[in-house]
Chain A
Amino acid sequence: MIELKNVTRRFGLTTLAIKGLDLTVQDREFLVLYGPAGAGKSTTLKMIAGIVRPTSGDILRDGVSLLGVPPERRDMAMCFENYALYSHLSVFENLAFPLRARGVADREIQAKVTKIAETLGIPHLLERRPGFLSGGQRQRVALGRAIIRPASTYLLDEPIGHLDAKLRHRMRAELKGMARDLASTIVLTTTSSREALALGDRIAVLDQGVLQQLGTPEEIYHRPVNEFVASFVGEPPMSFLDATAEREGGQTALRLRSGHRLPVGPGWAAPLRDPTCRLGVRAAELSIADTADDRHAVPVTVDQVELLGHVRVVRLSLGQELVAVVVPPERQLAPGQPLWLAIDPARLHVFQDGRAVSHPAMPTVH
């Protein structure tokens, strides 16, 4: 178990890369650090690795501080975002480097390097120097060098970000399989929400050096604690609508900025400190119809249509605001076309001052 306790890291006087981070990585857990560029993901990894010292705070492994332990004695392996390949050595020697450093026998090195090169699809590149490889090839060498030897913890800094889509898909599966086989702790950073959701046992969402939320992919996806997490997790991104809560008799309704009322049932107003709020809706949880009915009560017009292959992402204008919705690819839609939108109150995310507010219609997350 690795614990980061109130860890802060400054660079120079002005840059605060990590602010008071508390994070626990369980044994044999696959933890994904997810966030935009500059969120402090790499810095967090490097602090765990021992390459970057925290300005304040402590990093513990099984209750013992790691701060005095140099990187070479932490039994961790790391894959660097900029690959950090040894340009004076061949791909073979790059992959063999961690093994040679540990005095592994030549025959075993040969076998292990051959095996890992096949997994990564680079057996034909073993004699080349890193300078003569493409970005994706270098990334695979870097990943291979990180996972070639057993380690207590693997730290992977965007290990598959520069691969093409097909290879990335395959490597994602490989990583997941590896996590199962190695029975080691893995901490991986990514800027792809798909990768984060697909890989992590838990996801830590970071923004501007602050931990926003830590939870299982389901929790992160279904119960984002704030607008940042809600907007950053999931594809296409969540749409947001301004609304005001109104009470009529025992019933509560949400009035959208476009003027439409959304009846939501009793018990809604209580958690809201003031009537104005923001509603978050996921594209996959909305439905559209050509004619109005009980559910499809909000009139919208088609703004833009994007084909993703298995789905179409449709951007709808609702008054001044835009809402994304996904429809089957066979559904033909043209910009300007009028439609009716259904918003299920049970699927709504409600935010006030950027923080999520729970409401009675929320389903429980499993």
Chain B
Amino acid sequence: MLQRPVHPAFSTLRYALILLVVLFAAFPIFWMILTSFKPPGDIMVSPPRLFFTPTLDNYVHAIVDKDFLRYVTNTLIVSVISTLFVVVLGSLAAYSFARYNTGDGHILFFILSTKMFPAIAVVLPYFLIFRDIGRTGIGQFLQIGLDKPGALIISYTMFNLPFAIWLLVSFFQDIPRELEDSARLDGLSRLKVLRKVVLPLAAPGIAVTAIFTLIFCWNEFLFAYILTRKTWSTVTVGVESFFTLQGILWGPVAAAATLAVLPMLLFVLAMQRWMVRGLTFGAVRG
């Protein structure tokens, strides 16, 4: 790539713009974390206070009184299992679409088309279906039903699969067919080719898909709100439960929100290198 010399004024302007965007994106998070350490008297004041005596009362309230860590655990279980399902099913489906053109594009289009209606359109039917399944023996055994993890896992898998397949198809398509042919001739069976050649080459793509799916599941609100009551509520619903009839407890809300955001924040920071690589180095070279 040809690098042209940049005028210092442009360079300054560029950094100023980047700073603005970063401030815009990061300030709410910063303020949330700040608020979570504020005593009640320091939260809703004008002008806003940047300096105060920090307290852990909000966290104590959220964790001890509201049992918020349970929501975090619930979310972790539901998100991770959903993501596993999405990645495994999505990879198999996408490989089939990419390599064998299964369904001549029609099935792929159908799968994508399920993304075209709003989630709210199906959430009530889902509610009724899961309520009825939950009353059967199988539903109880598999934990599928209202306020059960199975219902959320199925919903999340359903709703994230189309996007995951769409993303993965392009990654699999980038793997030259000859690589698989060559591996077969080198003596590997079809399944071994998948394990030794296709999966390692598609790994960045699969990682990106998994990261996105996990984030989507973690932040999902509507399904969790409708399909769970108390036992299996997720963090988004948990935070919402702080909005009570008596009023909004801003301090505990901020503490709970911080607890809800923190795992994902750390996860994404750790995975950042992978995400950039997966999104930009889509093409397999060589």
Contacts and interface: CB of A to CB of B under 8 A. Distances in A.
A binds B: yes
Classify chain B's interface size.
Answer: 20 to 34
Interface string B182-193: 111111111010
A325 B188 CA distance: 53
Contacts of B186: 72, 77, 97-98, 101, 145
Contacts of A70: 184, 189-190
B181 A49 contact: yes
A78 B176 contact: no
Contact of A87 (B183, B188, B284): B284
B106 interface: no
Given A82-B176, A84-B179, A87-B201, A51 B285 contact: no
Nearest to B181: A51
Interface string A83-94: 111111000000
A81 to B, nearest CB: 8
A101 B179 contact: no
Contact of A71 (B179, B184, B192): B184
A102 B185 contact: no
B200 interface: yes
Nearest to A148: B186
B65 interface: no
Interface string A147-165: 0000000000000000000
B201 A130 contact: no
A77 B186 CA distance: 7
A102 B188 CA distance: 8
A41 to B, nearest CB: 15
B5 interface: no
B286 A77 contact: no
A80 B201 CA distance: 18
Contacts of B187: 72, 98, 101-102
A200 to B, nearest CB: 22
B154 interface: no
B104 interface: no
Nearest to B179: A84
A46 interface: yes
Interface in B127-158: none
Contact of A131 (B183, B185, B192, B286): B286
Given A72-B187, A87-B201, A88-B201, A131 B178 contact: no
A50 B179 CA distance: 14
Interface in B32-83: none
A229 interface: no
A101 B193 CA distance: 10
Interface in B192-228: 192, 197, 200-201, 203
What 9 A-B pairs are tightest by C-beta distance, nearest first?
A87-B286, A130-B286, A84-B178, A98-B186, A131-B285, A101-B187, A71-B184, A84-B182, A51-B181
Interface of A: 46, 49-51, 70-72, 74, 76-78, 80, 82-88, 97-98, 101-102, 129-131, 133, 138, 145
